[in-house]
Structure 1
Amino acid sequence: MERFDWQPNALSPIPLYKQIEDYIKEKIANGEWTIGMKLPSQRTLADAFKVNRSTIVTALDELAAQGLIEGKGRQGTRVINNTWGLLTSSAPLNWNSYVDTGMHYPNLPIIREINRAEFDPNIIRLGTGELSSELLPQEKTKHIMNILSKQYIPLGYEEPKGDILLREQLAKYLQTLGIQASTSSILVVSGGIQALQLISMGLLQKGATILVEKPSYLYSLNIFQSAGMRLIGIPMDQDGMQSTLISKYKKQFFSSLLYTIPSFHNPTGILMSEERRKVVVATCNEIGLPIVEDGVYQDLWFGSPSSKPLKAYDRSGSVLYIGSMSKTISPGLRIGWIVGPEAVINRLADIKMQTDYGSSSLSQRAAAQWFLSGLYEEHLDCIRQQLQIRRDIALHALEKHFAHIATWNVPEGGFYIWLHINLRFSMQKLFYKVLQAGILLNPGNLYDRHAEQHLRISYSYASLHDIERGIEKLARIIQEIKQ
């Protein structure tokens, strides 16, 4: 649902339609809603402003009569002029033409809808891939910041690869995962997505082909596609990406690299087996195919530690390893890292300096303190326990309400359950129907256009009560659609 920073006042003597008309007119006059911009639909505006649709129609009719907007049937209503344009002889600037031709692709409409709805406090978020505010370490973070307040606080830029204290701590932490890396082979970045952006800009040519799991998190992003690259999906089984197909796909599609999330895969939750990991690394070494390993869920295992990262089996420098604190400590900290050969790290560090001149020095020092204090491992123990409880609640609710209409995996860690619904209907229709009922989902076709009967269920964000209530309501809505 569209959200605005303003609401009409029902107690005002000014009619609601007039308030809405004036609000939209001000947006246009101030240049916030520019020439060519498409307005939200009448239904969307009515829902956002909590008024009848007829009120919206009246307001838009008034704006159209003033020559500010124009409706073109199925093409929607667009801004065609502003109060300044009406007073001048020159044609007003059409920013929309720039927006439409920008190099970076826009998000899919459903992803934009998800991004908006995630800030609605009344929504049950069964698709959100981040920790609930209940799980974020508020008290430990205060303790960290208290320690920092008594030390020298870095306020300037850091060196290109990042704060040396943090990289020293990361080198020690990586050893616990079986990864040997010196500080010169580590680059601090502002989260996993920036790591992928740097790789796309610094290591790949336009037109390059990237092999990924099918389904894959990368399909929900436009980082590589916007750079003129294409993604080719390799099918998965219960042990992860089918390694026997890597050589075939590499030759068939002249692939440039392989991207994988081997630990608690997004969106399926699959944990690649240790044997499969060894085969993937050996195969890629043999055919000269670099690997980008996304390890942001590596530490979120339940019961027993997950298999070592692919990077731990890499002896030829063919694996770039991405890690992050976004899934374990806080997405707001914006601290991640890339581990790889020094030549690659130097190249990516140079590009990072050109784009943002380094990640926040304060965030880097706080991240270093998480490791130095021993609080990182302490916090992980707590998070693993809490996530396992949430997973079990979700599985129990699915067994109770979905046993006859769906199948699903049982994840051994991470955030996600990959739900396959044994009924055929429009996933888009389901998405908007459950959203109207106060539930936010991530449809499977965001990760694979053929996954029309899948949903990515996340148990990391919603409360225990909302997980149960949301899954029950979802099952009821699916039954209604089926009928």
Structure 2
Amino acid sequence: MQKPKYQLIVDFIKDKISKGEWTIGSRIPSQRHLAKMFDVNRSTVITALEELMADGLIEGKAGMGTIVTNNTWTLMGEQSSTNWNEKVTLGIHKPSISTVQEINEAESNHHLIQLSKGELSPEIFPLEEMRSILQKVSNQMTPFGYEEPKGNLKLRQAISDYLKNRGIDVSPSSILVVSGALQALHLISIGLLQRGSSVFLEVPSYLYSLTVFQSMGMELKGIPMDKKGIKVDSIYQTKGKGKSILYTIPTFHNPTGTLMQKNRREELLEYCKREQLPIIEDDVYRDLWIDTIPPEPLKSMDYYGSVLYIGSLSKTLSPGLRIGWVVGAESVINRLADLKMQSDYGSSTFSQLVAMEWLSSGLYDQHLETVREQLKVRRRTALEALNKHLSSYATWEVPTGGFFIWIKIKPAFKVKRLFDKALSKGLLLNPGSIYAEQSGQFIRLSFGFASINEIKVGIFQLSQIIKDVDD
């Protein structure tokens, strides 16, 4: 005999509690989420929750939702259980804001139209070339262990050659292989910066959706931008030299797509040299130019070792490889390499060998040509759909590279619930609030991941949601 639907929910929650996966103090999913999980209406969920409350396992708490208050063992009279939930807020690293956590969870939902993801579509992934390289690396494989602290030397030489073609002349000894740009930022925050330091950065910025610097006790200070990039005359240090650092994404900025112009780059470097303000240059989007090659990196004009340069294959090839790099003064790279060894004892040897083959074989540059062609088609599709469906409600700039269009909803339309309403309609996008954009009128739309048809459908749905958002 088939169990009632509410009983399936009861059994599911009891199972989670009895296994210790949902410990005492854990908040269980919302009624809406459970209803969606089990494809039932809210009244069925409420019936299940009421039974669990009667059993003494859960309890509704004001401002906290529904909380696990006991487990099956405590109800059987055993000793009280350790409450790990009392400890989850004690660590020094802060949690992501709730919206970011929700986005991270939703990005694995294949039923949503993904206008949020800052990565390439599976349609652009070079599957045959990757299979060929994996086979080649496998055929040449010998027993391998840990790599040297800075990463595989052949990969670092390949990165050195790659960077030379982009204006940066650096030897392999000044390159550290990392597991993506985010690890680079983490190593910098724990190894090079003092607690209480100021981190200057564009506002809005990708870093505001992270906690990597704030968790180390540093203060983020937003600097406004215009169409040429960060406004240098707005940088104002108050804590004395040596206590601040500048973080910037000058090429196809996340989330706005802005490209810092050459004269602005020169102005920024001159200011930072004069004020002894070190720079972190996050250049992971550089190779995603669509119209023309962007100005050379800040690092290419750095003759004093004041710029730490971050690059990655995650945006251009595959985030699954987990391969990026940091370029800097040799003494700084030595320090970061030591911290990386303490953290994970080096990035995957196999991934490093695969990345080396991509960069040294010429296949990577060939792949980039395909990527740029595809991004041009996708950008055109997105702009045509925006002009057709959203021009009455919003404005935007045309990006010359990268994945993102930074959309400003006109003030006449209140978009406070836009993210939630879009998600309920099967559309995932990034609200400007996670990048510290205060007006609540911006969204970041990605044309890199969704299919061509999904881009068209998603933008049409977005226009309907904005139109009806006050209903």
TM-score (norm 1): 0.95
Does structure 1 retain, via aligned residues, the 8 Å contact 2:415–2:469? Answer: no
Alignment of 1:32-431 (within 5 A): 32-88=21-77, 90-153=79-142, 155-246=144-235, 248-249=236-237, 255-423=243-411, 427-431=415-419
Structure 1 counterpart of 2:214, which letter?
Q
Contact 1:211/1:255 (CA < 8 Å) preserved in 2? no
Secondary structure in 2 matching 1:257:
strand
Shift of 1:89: 5.2
> What amino acid maps onto 1:361 in structure 2?
T
2:167–2:300 CA contact under 8 A, matched in 1: yes
User: For residue 29 of structure 1, what is the aligned residue in structure 2?
Assistant: 18
Shift of 1:138: 0.8
Q: What's the CA shift for 1:176? A: 0.6
For the Cα contact (< 8 Å) 1:160–1:358, is it kept in 2? yes
C-alpha displacement at 1:243, in angstroms? 1.3
Distance in 2 between residues matched to 1:233 and 1:424, nearest whole Å: 27
SS of aligned partner of 2:406: strand
Residue by residue, what CA displacement relative to the aligned partner does 1:429-460 show, whole Å, maximum 9, x if unpaired? Answer: 11111111110010011112414100101000
Shift, 1:421, TM fit: 0.6
Opposite residue 285 of structure 1, the aligned amino acid is K
d(CA) in 1 for partners of 2:253, 2:33:
35
1:190 alignment partner AA = S
1-structure distance, mates of 2:416, 2:13:
29
The change in CA–CA distance for 1:429 and 1:286 in structure 2 (over 3 A counts) is same
Percent of aligned pairs with the same amino acid: 53
Structure 1 residues without counterparts, runs of 5 or longer: 1-11
- Deviations along 1:246-297, whole A, 9 cap, x unmatched? 2x24668985100000000000000000111111111101110000000000
- Residue deviations 1:107-153 (CA, integer Å, cap 9, x gap): 11111111111111111111111111111111110111121122134
Give the direction of change, closer, same or farther, for the CA distance of 1:424–1:203 in structure 2 (3 Å limit). Answer: farther
Unaligned runs of 5+ in 2: none
> Once the 2 structures are TM-superposed, how far is the Cα of residue 155 of structure 1 from its aligned partner?
2.7
Report the secondary structure of 1:205's partner residue.
coil
Separation in 1, partners of 2:82, 2:412 = 46
- 1:7 corresponding residue in structure 2: none
The answer to whether structure 1 residue 439 and structure 2 residue 445 are counterparts is: no
Instruction: Work out the CA distance in 2 between the residues paired with 1:100 and 1:425.
Output: 37
Greater Cα shift, 277-286 or 448-457: 448-457
CA distance in 2, matches of 1:283, 1:154: 50
Q: How many residues align?
A: 471
**Between 73-82 and 374-383, the greater mean CA deviation after superposition:** 73-82
Question: Are residues 23 and 37 of structure 1, via their aligned partners in 2, closer, same or farther at CA, if it must alter by over 3 Å?
Answer: same
Task: For residue 482 of structure 1, report the CA deviation from its aligned partner.
Answer: 4.4
SS of aligned partner of 1:144: helix
For 2:29 and 2:240, the matched residues in 1 are separated by 44
Aligned residues of 1:442 and 1:455 also touching (Cα < 8 A): yes
Distance in 1 separating the partners of 2:143 and 2:461: 49
| Pairwise CA distance, 1:74 | 3.9
Aligned to 1:475: 463
- Alpha-carbon offset, residue 214 of structure 1: 0.8
CA contact (8 A) 2:74 2:81 kept: yes
- Tell me the alpha carbon deviations over residues 151-182 of structure 1, each in whole angstroms, 9 at most, x when there is no partner: 13453100000000000011111101111111
Q: Is the 8 Å Cα contact of residues 427 and 443 (structure 1) preserved in structure 2? A: no
The 1-side partners of 2:166 and 2:273 are apart by 21
Question: What SS does the aligned partner of 1:101 have?
Answer: coil
Going from structure 1 to structure 2, the CA distance change for 1:326 and 1:154 (only over 3 Å counts) comes to farther
Give, in whole Å, the separation in 2 of the partners of 1:48 and 1:19. 11
**For residues 201 and 252 of structure 1, do their structure 2 counterparts lie closer, same or farther at Cα, with a shift above 3 Å needed?**
closer
Secondary structure of 2:221's partner?
strand
Query: Contact 2:203–2:437 at 8 Å: present in 1 too?
Result: no
Deviates more, 1:85-94 or 1:199-208: 85-94
SS at match of 1:134: helix
Shift of 1:36: 0.5
Bigger mean CA deviation after superposition, 263-272 or 300-309? 300-309
Q: In the TM superposition, what whole-angstrom CA distance separates every residue of 1:190-248 from its partner, at most 9, and x where no partner exists?
A: 000000000001001112110000110000111111111111000000000001222x2
The 3-state SS of whatever aligns with 1:258 is strand
Q: Which residue of 2 aligns with 1:456?
A: 444
Give the AA of the match of 1:453: Q
**Partner AA of 2:152 in structure 1:** D
Deviation at 1:101, TM superposition (A): 2.1
RMSD: 1.5
Matched residue of 1:299: which SS?
helix
Once the 2 structures are TM-superposed, how far is the Cα of residue 408 of structure 1 from its aligned partner?
0.3
* Alpha-carbon separation, structure 1, partners of 2:47 and 2:287: 55
Distance 2:239 2:213 in 1: 20
What is the Cα deviation at residue 91 of structure 1?
2.2
Q: Residue 44 of structure 1 aligns to which amino acid in structure 2?
A: H
What is the rounded CA distance, in whole Å, between the counterparts of 1:305 and 1:196 in structure 2?
26
Give the whole-Å Cα distance in 1 for the aligned partners of 2:135 and 2:461. 44
Give the direction of change, closer, same or farther, for the CA distance of 1:482–1:72 in structure 2 (3 Å limit): closer
